Amino acid sequence: MVSGSIDHSLFMPDFLHNCGGFAVVDGGFATELERHGADLNDPLWSAKCLVTSPHLVRRVHLDYLDAGANIIATASYQATIQGFEAKGFSTEEAEGLLRRSVEIACEARDVYYDRCTKDSWDLIDKGITSRRPVLVAASVGSYGAYLADGSEYSGNYGDAISLKTLKDFHRRRVQILANSGADLIAFETIPNKLEAKAYAELLEEEEINIPAWFSFNSKDGINVVSGDSILECASIAESCNRVVSVGINCTAPRFIHGLILSLRKVTNKPVIIYPNSGETYDASRKEWVQSTGVREEDFVSYIGKWRDAGASLFGGCCRTTPNTIRAISRVLSNKCPQPSLNPETCV
């Protein structure tokens, strides 16, 4: 995609129109990598597999595409130049691994499309796109994700971390991902207003020419995890022309409805939601603890309510699976007059 050709104001509305009004985002990544045998006990977390097991990264992307996802996020959430350098990689090698995260996702999309049979391309005469739209989103995790100390779930970076610190930390990473062939950038699990402001200023200062979404996390359904107002955080995204969607991720499903309503008060941009399973992350033990986790069928039962509240893009975060995404895709395809969202076909 040629970056200079993108009309940011139309990017997401056009994409959603081509999807039939609603879009499906992929689900938990690390959970699936571990299910396939990856050992993620490492500060790089899922980004470790860019080095050790790129074939597993591709396999997880394909699992989500087979489940009906319209958007797959790269395995770069915890991939930072600083993090790779701390593991002994050179700057050039670190930058190459960031680019590779996008390449692997794009390769998976190509493989998925190649799998589509001629029988699945029979809807052109009905005015429906010949294959299901799929975007590759370059994932950018927070500064707290790099620290790997759980601070992405608290937003507490300490007084020493300034707006300039965060912009300097993220700048080169964002530049690389924006020029690696991704369709958009996903700024995920944003825990505080300061980091949202850093991202917005970076997008403008660096004249990033692919669109982005901002997705925040909350533990009370009212504020982001730092305690900053979700309304103030979303307003930062609303004011940035390069941001085409605003939403919530890695948050318990029970909070999502109220958060959607809050977002709609301050933004007209499409709302994206991809909650976690409802479990709670214990940073000291580095594991998810059962609390109010939900089964796939329970998770999916919320989709209609969230759609009616104003959300347009739906997926899952930590501890959700391709089964979750398949169920979401089926629900949305039943709500859509166009059959192009049918997860059982490649259209």
Residues annotated in the binding site for Zn(2+), as ranges?
250, 317-318
Which residue type, as a one-letter code, is found at position 177?
L
Q: Which residues are annotated as a binding site?
A: 250, 317-318
Alpha carbon of 265 to those of 145, 215, 221, 310, 311: distances in Å? Answer: 29, 16, 15, 11, 13
Q: Give the largest Cα separation in the chain, rounded.
A: 60
85: tokens are: 């350098």
For residue 65, which of 76, 53, 54, 73 has the smallest C-alpha distance? Answer: 73
Helix, strand, coil % (nearest 5) of the chain?
A: 50, 15, 40
Given a contact cutoff of 8 angstroms between Cβ atoms, the answer to whether 333 and 128 are in contact is no
Which residue type, as a one-letter code, is found at position 206?
E
Q: What are phi and psi of 24, to 5 degrees?
A: -110, 130
d(CA 257, CA 280): 19
Alpha carbon of 347 to those of 45, 179, 181, 211, 335: distances in Å? Answer: 33, 28, 23, 25, 17
